[in-house]
Amino acid sequence: MTESATVLLVEDERQMRKLVTISLKANDYDVIEAETAEEGVRQAAAYTPDLVLLDLGLPDVDGFSVIKRIREWSTMPIIVISASGQEEQKVRALDEGADDYLTKPFGAAELMARIRVALRHNARGPDSSSVVHIGDETEIDLVKRLVRVRGAEVHFTPIEYKLLTVLAKHAGMVMTHRHLLEQVWGPGNAHQMQYLRVYMTQLRHKLESNPARPRYLLTEPGVGYRLKIE
C-alpha cells in the first residue's frame, strides 16, 4: 500500500509542512503539497490522492469547508491535523466527514500508524472484512456473529454486539458519540450518552484484561471511542 500511495498535505505552516513531508517520503509515500483551502480542493480534484492530511487553520477559509467539498464527490480518507485540541472542533470535523483527527504536536510513528489504518480501511471498504482481530487475544467473526477471547467464545447481548460490530467495522478510526448512538440505538438517540457509557463499560469487562486501563477500546475524550487493533 505505502509504495504507491499518494498523500495530499494541506498545511499553511511551512515548517510543519516540511517535517510531515519528510516523514511521509521516508515511509515511501508520494506527497502533494497545498498551502490554502482552495489549492487543497483543486489538488484533490486534479490528482485524486489516496489520502488527505488537512490542517483546519488555513489562511483563506477553514478546513471544514475542504472536508465538505471533498465529501461532495469522494470518499478518500481525510485525516485532520490541527493545533486545536478543542473537543467541539474534533467532533465537528469527524461529523463533517473526516476519518480521523490528530492534535499537534504528534509523533511521526503515530501519524504513520493512523495513515496505514485509514488506507487499509478505505481499500477494503468498511464492511468487507468478515473477521477482525484485536491484538493477539480477540477475534470477531462478523459473518458467524461469534466473538472469541483467548480462544473461548464470549456471549454478548444484542446491543453489546451491535456496538462492538460498529466499532469493529471501523477499526482504528475515531467514532463520535453521535455516530455510535445513531447506529446502535437509532435516530433520535444522539444525546443518550448514559446508554453509550454503560455499554462501553460492559464491553471492556468482556474484552479487556484490565477494564480500568483498556488497551483496545479507547476513549477519545469528549469525542467518542476508537477500537485499536494495532
pLDDT digits (tens, 9 = 90+) for 200-227: 999 999 999 999 999 999 999 889 999 9
CA pair distance 188, 173, nearest whole angstrom = 23
pLDDT value, residue 137: 84
Residue 198's domain is classified under what CATH number? 1.10.10.10
Within 13 A of 108's CA, how many CA atoms are on the CB side?
Answer: 12
Q: Could you tell me the three cell numbers for 53?
A: 492530511
Q: Are strands 138-141 and 146-149 parallel, antiparallel or unpaired?
A: antiparallel
Judgement on whether residues 135 and 190 belong to the same structural domain of the protein? yes
pLDDT in tens, 145-161: 889 998 899 999 999 99
C-alpha cell at 191: 444525546
Domain that holds residue 17: 6-124
Domain limit, last residue, from 108, 124, 140? 124
Residue 16 lies in a domain: yes
SS3 state at 51: strand
Position 124 scores a pLDDT of: 62
- My answer on whether 120 and 10 are in the same domain is yes
Residue for cell digits 470518499? 75
pLDDT 10s digits, 102-115 = 988 899 999 999 99
DSSP 22: H
pTM, entire model: 0.75
∠ CA 152-153-156, nearest 5°, is 140
Residue 1 lies in a domain: no
